[in-house]
Amino acid sequence: MRAYGQLTIAQLRLFGRNRQVLFFTLFFPVFFMVMFGYLFSNSGGNTIYGGLIDLDQTTESRAFIAALDEQKEILKLDTSEGQEAAMEKLRQGDNQMVIIIPKGYGEKLQAATSQTGTAPPGTVDVFYDETQAQKAGTALNAVSQVVDGISKSIAKYSPVVTITPKGIESLNLKYIDFLVPGIVAMMIMSNNLNGVAAQIASWRERGVLRRMQSTPLKSSTFIAAQITARLILNGAQALIVLLIGSFVFGTQMNGSWALLLAFVIVGTLAFMAIGFIIAGLAKTPESAGPIAGFISFPLMFLGGVFFPIQSMPSFLQPIIKALPIAHLSTALRQIMNVGAGLSQLWSEGLMLCAWMIVAFIVASFTFKWE
């Protein structure tokens, strides 16, 4: 028991005194948070910039422009520029679309109103940037809705089925709310995976473990102290990141802190165990780092840290769904964003526990004191 306490304190001292490691293990996640947080919150998400040129200048064309104005949340249209300038901006990528109401639009509409059915319909030209498929889709959608509305009103069409949108419990979540739980998950992964692998491999190489092995110290005591010290460190680091997120970026915390802590603990244990496996497999301390990096780097991008898992290619989905980081980031996110309880998160919890148990079993076979 005394040995357990002394080893835990010693490990915490090593963490605390290794300023460089301490700084970078904390700086790295905070840096990611700040960088991605600002980058994605300011780029305006789905706003589309474009030019609007009215060559017709009739009552009908002005009605169309007025209808477009209702979509101003999405479409930011500039009517002051000439056609050439607007098209040039589209080619440069400054505009995502250009809408041109051609001459004769008003007349065609009038003709269509008077002689039902047979007259050619009025047209509006929409130029868009094919390289930005997602934004172009949104833009065309918005314009179609406007056009659709005009058509229906002219044709005196009365809809048989309508939609009544009813938003429930709008949480008004921002990207930073998505990001912070992901960053915490990433931090837990990289600290434990890389940290344990590098440290144990280096202690083994330097004979530290052999020296301890020559004393009556039990390996279970040694490992228990390692786990305790790392849990304290990770808990503190997660808390710092959450507090920075909360105070600097105003991220939300809608769930239970106890459940969040529970997932931080299970996540730490699972990734520590994987770190022990890598330490066992690595022949030298120099190779432990790259092996850990090779594993953690893809996990960071696949496992829902920065991007939603749903946006990954479908053939990767089964693989991603088996990754421990995916379950950790999903669980942390669900707790923080929508306040999910254990009843919703039992599958994530179960998967992480499974990872933890299997990894510890494998680690106990691959682990070498020397």
Partner 1 sequence: MTSNAQQQEQGEPIIEVQGLRKRYGSFTAVDGIDFDVRRGEIFGLLGPNGAGKTTTMEMIEGLRLPDEGRAKVAGYDTRTELNKVKTVIGVQLQSTSLFELLKVKEITKMYASFYEHTVPIGPLLQSVTLEEKLNDRVKNLSGGQKQRLAIALALVNDPQVVFLDEPTTGLDPQARRTLWDIILQMRDRGKTVVLSTHYMDEAQLLCDRICLMDRGKVIALDTPRNLISNMNSESAIEFRISEELQWPEARQQGLLQHLHTLSGVRIAEFRKDTYVLYTDDLQQTLTEFIEHCKAEDIEFMDLLTRTATLEDVFIHMTGRSLREE
CB of 22 to partner 1, least distance (A): 11
| Near partner 1 by CB under 8 A: residue from 3, 150, 239, 262 | 3
Comparing CB distances to partner 1, the nearer of 13 and 72 is 13
Comparing CB distances to partner 1, the nearer of 18 and 141 is 18
Separation of alpha carbons 262 and 81, rounded Å: 58
Per CB under 8 A, which of residues 9..48 are in contact with partner 1? 10, 13-14, 17-18
Instruction: Give the other-Cβ count within 10 Å of 235's Cβ.
Output: 15
CB of 252 to partner 1, least distance (A): 39
Question: Both tokens of residue 268?
Answer: 């730490």
Separation of alpha carbons 43 and 51, rounded Å: 19
Q: Is residue 224 close enough to count as binding partner 1 by CB under 8 A?
A: no
Separation of alpha carbons 120 and 110, rounded Å: 11
Comparing CB distances to partner 1, the nearer of 141 and 219 is 219
CB of 176 to partner 1, least distance (A): 36
Separation of alpha carbons 65 and 145, rounded Å: 13
| Near partner 1 by CB under 8 A: residue from 117, 159, 165, 216 | 216
Separation of alpha carbons 269 and 277, rounded Å: 12
| Near partner 1 by CB under 8 A: residue from 103, 152, 211, 283 | 211
Comparing CB distances to partner 1, the nearer of 82 and 207 is 207
- How deeply is 144 buried, as exposed, middle or buried, from its count of CB atoms within 10 A (0-12, 13-18, 19+)? exposed
Q: Is residue 321 close enough to count as binding partner 1 by CB under 8 A?
A: no
Using DSSP's 3-state secondary structure scheme, residue 132 falls into coil
Using DSSP's 3-state secondary structure scheme, residue 308 falls into coil
CA distances from 153 to 64, 122, 147, 366 (A): 12, 14, 10, 73
End-to-end CA distance of the chain: 25
Q: Is residue 248 close enough to count as binding partner 1 by CB under 8 A?
A: no
Per CB under 8 A, which of residues 190..209 are in contact with partner 1? 206-208
Q: Is residue 284 close enough to count as binding partner 1 by CB under 8 A?
A: no
CB of 209 to partner 1, least distance (A): 10
Comparing CB distances to partner 1, the nearer of 152 and 218 is 218
- Residues lying near partner 1 in the complex (CB under 8 A): 2-3, 5-7, 10, 13-14, 17-18, 206-208, 210-217, 370
